Amino acid sequence: MTSEHEYLTVGQLTRYIHRKFTADPYLERVYVTGEISNFRERPRHQYFSLKDKDAVLGVVMYAGAYRKIKFKPEEGMKVLATGRVDVYEKSGRYQLIIDHMEPQGVGALYQAYEQLKAKLKAEGLFDRPKRPIPRFPRRIAVITSQSGAVIKDIMTTVNRRYPIAQLVLFPAAVQGEQAADSLVGRLKEVNARGDFDTIIIGRGGGSIEDLWPFNEEKVARAIVASKIPVISSVGHETDTTIADLVADRRVATPTAAAEIATPVLTEEIAKIIDERERMVRAENKMLRFYADKVQRLVTAPVLQHPHRFLEQRSQTLDQLMLRLENRQTTLVKTLHERVTALATRLQRQSPQAKVAAWKQQAQAYAQRLQTSEVRLLQIRRQRISQLVGQLDALSPLKIMTRGYAYVTGADGQVVRDVTAFKPDDQVRLHMSTGQATARIEQIERNDSDDSKTTNV
C-alpha cells in the first residue's frame, strides 16, 4: 500500500525546526529572567537550566561568554540572561544560548565583588601577617597609569619628603579588560627584579566598573604572592577594593601612599644630628668614667706596692691550703667514723653478737641482783642493829645498871605510887645485879601542889 504523504526523517524535521529558530528575528535576541537550576561549574562550557514556577528552560553558556561574567553563578540565584534560542539537533532539544548574564536586583560586579571578598576572607588572606613597610627605602616601584595624576602626586610628595629615594614607574593599564593582566604582569616583573624596597599600586577614583581590575582575583593573589611590601592606593576613602584588603597597607590617595612609603628627610637628618650629639655626650661621659677608673687603678696600692699584693695573696693561699687540709682531715675522720659505725651496726645485726650482748646483759642483771641482795642484807642488818640499840637504850635493865631499881609489892605487882605503901610493909627491890627484900619504915610523898615533901 503506497502512502499519499511524503514522510520526513527525524533529522530532516529537526533541521527544519533549527532553520525556523535561526530565521526567526524574535528568537535571535531574547531577554529572559529566571532562577538558576542544576548548575555545576564545568571546565569549559556551562550547561544548566533557568526555571520559574511555570517552566524549565535548558541553557548553554560557552566558555568565551562565561569568562566575561564578573560573578559566580550559584544554585537558586535569580539572573537576567541575554541570548538566542536554538535547537540542538542531536537531541532535538531547544535551548537558550546565553552570551550575557547578571544577577537580578544586584549588579553583577557588586555580586562578584562580594563573592570574591567572602572567598578570600575564608582563606585568611585579609588576616595574614602584613609585611612591614621599609622606613628608609632606596628604590620604590610605582605601578599605575603613565598618564594619570597618581604618578605626579607621588613624585611631588617623594621629592618633597625624601628626594634621595629613586622612583621607578612601571606603566600599567588600570582600566578595561586587559588591566588585570597588565597589573599582574607588572607585579611579577618588579618581584623578579628584586631590587625594590616598596611597591605602590593604584589609580584615581571612579565607578565600580572603572575600579574593577583591582577587584580581580588574579590581582589580589599577585599582591599576596609579592615578596616586596605593597601599598594600595585605589580610588578614594569610600572606594574599598579587594586589592586594598589584601595589600600590606591601604591608603586613600597617592599622596598618602608616598607619605607612608617615605620619611621626611629633614626630620630624619635632625634626628641623626640629635642622636649624634647624644652619642658624643655619652662617649665623653664614658671616656671620663674610664679615665677616672684608670687613674684610680694607677694610684691603687697594688700598683704602687705590688709585693704587698703578692704577700696578701700568698697569705690567703696559705690559709686556703690550711683550710683544705683541715677539711680533708675532717672528711677522712668523718668517713672513718661512719665506716666504724656501719661496721658496729653490722656486727650488732649478727645473731651471735646479739646473743653475746644478751648474755652480757643477763650477767650484768645477775651481778646487779647479787649486789642488790648484799646491799639489802647490809641495810637490814644495820636497821636491826639500830633497833636493838634503841631497844637496849630503852630497856629498864639498861637504866637499872646506872643505880636504878623498881619495887614490887607482896603480890608481885610493880608499885608506882608511894600511897600504895603502909608502914611495915615488905617490898622487894629489883636491881640489875639482883633482888632484895625491904620493909617500909617511913613514907614520904611529894606534894605536887606546894612542891614540898610530907612525911606520912
pLDDT tens digit sequence for 280-306: 999 999 999 998 888 887 777 766 677
Buried b (16+ CB within 10 A) or exposed e, 98-115: beebbbeeeebbebbbeb
CATH numbers and ranges of domains, the chain: 10-105 (2.40.50.140), 134-263 (3.40.50.10550), 400-455 (no CATH)
Say if residue 131's pLDDT is above 90: yes
For 146-187, how does the pLDDT look when each residue is reduced to its tens digit (9 = 90+)?
Answer: 887 889 999 999 999 999 999 999 999 998 889 999 999 999
**Mean per-residue pLDDT, 31-49:** 89
DSSP 311-373: HHHHHHHHHHHHHHHHHHHHHHHHHHHHHHHHHHHHHHHSHHHHHHHHHHHHHHHHHHHHHHH
Q: So what's the pLDDT on residue 144?
A: 93
- pLDDT tier at 453 (50, 70, 90 boundaries)? very low
Q: What phi and psi, each to the nearest 5 degrees, are found at residue 437?
A: -105, 135
**Mean per-residue pLDDT, 401-422:** 82
DSSP-derived secondary structure letter, 238: T
In terms of Cα–Cα distance, which of 134, 133, 139, 145 is closest to 170? Answer: 145
Which residues are within 8 A (CB) of 107 and not within 5 positions of it... i.e. 6 or more apart? Answer: 208
Q: Read off the pTM.
A: 0.47
Task: Tally DSSP H helices, then E strands, for the chain.
Answer: 15, 15
Cell numbers given for 13: 524535521
- pLDDT tier at 456 (50, 70, 90 boundaries)? very low
For 50-79, how does the pLDDT look when each residue is reduced to its tens digit (9 = 90+)?
Answer: 988 888 889 999 998 998 887 788 887 888
> How many whole angstroms separate alpha carbon 34 and alpha carbon 267?
63
The amino acid occupying position 288 is: R
Query: CB burial class (10 A; 0-12, 13-18, 19+) of residue 147?
Result: exposed
For 107-122, how does the pLDDT look when each residue is reduced to its tens digit (9 = 90+)?
Answer: 667 777 888 888 899 9
> How many whole angstroms separate alpha carbon 84 and alpha carbon 95?
8
Q: What phi and psi, each to the nearest 5 degrees, are found at residue 97?
A: -100, 110
User: How remote is the C-alpha of 233 from its chain's centroid?
Assistant: 41
Strands in 426-431's sheet, in edge-to-edge order, are 406-408, 426-431, 434-439
Q: So what's the pLDDT on residue 71?
A: 78
**Mean per-residue pLDDT, 432-451:** 76
Q: List the beta bridge partners of residue 234.
A: 203
Question: What radius of gyration do the chain's Cα atoms show?
Answer: 68
Q: Checking DSSP bridges between strand 406-408 and strand 426-431, what pairing results, if any? A: antiparallel
> How many whole angstroms separate alpha carbon 248 and alpha carbon 119?
19
Q: What phi and psi, each to the nearest 5 degrees, are found at residue 247?
A: -70, 165
Q: So what's the pLDDT on residue 20?
A: 78
> How many whole angstroms separate alpha carbon 421 and alpha carbon 439?
10
Q: So what's the pLDDT on residue 451?
A: 44
For 200-247, how does the pLDDT look when each residue is reduced to its tens digit (9 = 90+)?
Answer: 998 887 777 788 899 889 999 999 999 999 999 987 656 688 899 999
- pLDDT tier at 454 (50, 70, 90 boundaries)? very low
Cell numbers given for 357: 650482748
User: How remote is the C-alpha of 170 from its chain's centroid?
Assistant: 49
Q: So what's the pLDDT on residue 237?
A: 59
**Are 95 and 57 a contacting pair, CB within 8 Å?**
yes
- pLDDT tier at 455 (50, 70, 90 boundaries)? very low
For 356-394, how does the pLDDT look when each residue is reduced to its tens digit (9 = 90+)?
Answer: 777 888 888 888 888 888 888 899 889 888 888 787 777
